[in-house]
Structure 1
Amino acid sequence: MNMLSINNIKLVNSLQLKKQRDKSELYVIEGDKMVREYLTSEEEIVWLFAKPEWIASLPGALVERVPNIIAVSYDELKRISSLKTPHNAMAIVHKKVTPLTAESLLNGLTIVLDSIQDPGNLGTIIRLAGWFGIDKIICSHGCVDLYNPKVLQATMGALLHVVVHYTEILPLMGDARAMGLPVYAAALEGESIYEAKLPGSAILIFGNESKGISAELMAASTHSVMIPSFGNRGAGIDSLNAAMAVAVVCSEFRRRSLPGQ
């Protein structure tokens, strides 16, 4: 194990910027639970920064798979952490690229996000996808960066179970529709999610926090569904948070797939 150097500090701090994450194809994860889960996964951990006692608690096989391990004090973690209160460990991970084809969308549900801007929303949506057994999310290029530290913290490690792609959505929707895959747009106007026919395989589109789904994607969808309000919409409650909407829609799709539904 080595000591923390100025170059280590510069590397970690540089990865707070998207352009540096893109250039290096690296990103930072923080938190004891998340780092341990990554160590037991197939992800490529390039650097591990952790308190000596935390490193000592790891099985030898996990330690051996990391090429660069730096034992750090709590004060040193504070110098490189993006958190106000750092945990015992953080790591630098190499990005993994997974090919995306329209054919891969045919089995099961796929979430499509149109210009989601809030890091907490994107991270929570990834976590929700993992909860509901949805292993693919497709983001427009207008979405917040997947490897933003706030996004990663909000995923709570669910990124290990959900593949997130960034691509031009319209061409992909066209290919999916040509293969007979239904495309459901979650909007303020449409058929109630509780009354609509919901198949086991579909694309589910959710829009920007303030602008909703773009007109182009609305036109490309085959169905429009809404979550009905049971309260007073005139009392300043005119819509749901994006992640809340994803939770309700995915829950109803999954409920319909249960035996007897």
Structure 2
Amino acid sequence: MFDLQGKIALVTGSSRGIGKAIALQLAKAGATVVINSNEHYDSMKAVVEEIKQLGGEARAIQADVSNEDEVKRLFAEITDSYGRLDILVNNAGTSRNETIDEITLEGWKSLLDINLTSCFLCSQLAMELMKRHQFGRIIQISSVVAHQGALYGHVHYSASKSAQLGFTKTLARTAAPHGITVNAVAPGIILTELLEQTLGEDKISTLSASIPMGMGEPIDVANAVVFLASEEAKYVTGITLDVNGGQYMR
């Protein structure tokens, strides 16, 4: 069950947090994983070593996935090394604790490039590789705020995460004839370094108390991704899988 032996996976933004957990779980299921980050090179190498200690295969490629030229370089390296890509997890993202009157146009564009443009750039090139083998899995990491909005500002973050869901549905229709599924995972409040940096301890405690099952962990999201990447999910496409502990029910 959930056997990913022989599959090549790219997880963007996978040096820490949810991305790291996804990379580890994909590797445990048998996939060879490309670890990616624009920064945190030492952390990327540490994830690669952790995967290798588990008996898996991985490599790190540093690239800014919001930049077209760097995405082209990233995929050229993947193509040269493996000749294929089976699983793309668009996880790279950021958030800033800003209300609408504090957001600059430059900040708005920057956040949307990191959270949304990166999905377009990586998915476009991933589709080219996946079509060659008539197989692929593309998975966006969205957020519960795509459904209910953010509680404390973050209008740029919420907009980017909502847009990912429309992107997912439309790309799923385009990809289906080629044996490629496209889905999204919408995590709720997951305790990560990014969450701690953007919200702070007091707001995190308040949010956690409001969730029926309490706050989630990165592995909860990772397990959902492994399912969507697996053969067991071959007839699942265009969906958003909510992983939020009952925070938002629809």
TM-score, normalising length: structure 1: 0.34
TM-score, normalising length: structure 2: 0.35
Larger Rg: 1
**Which structure: greater strand fraction?**
1
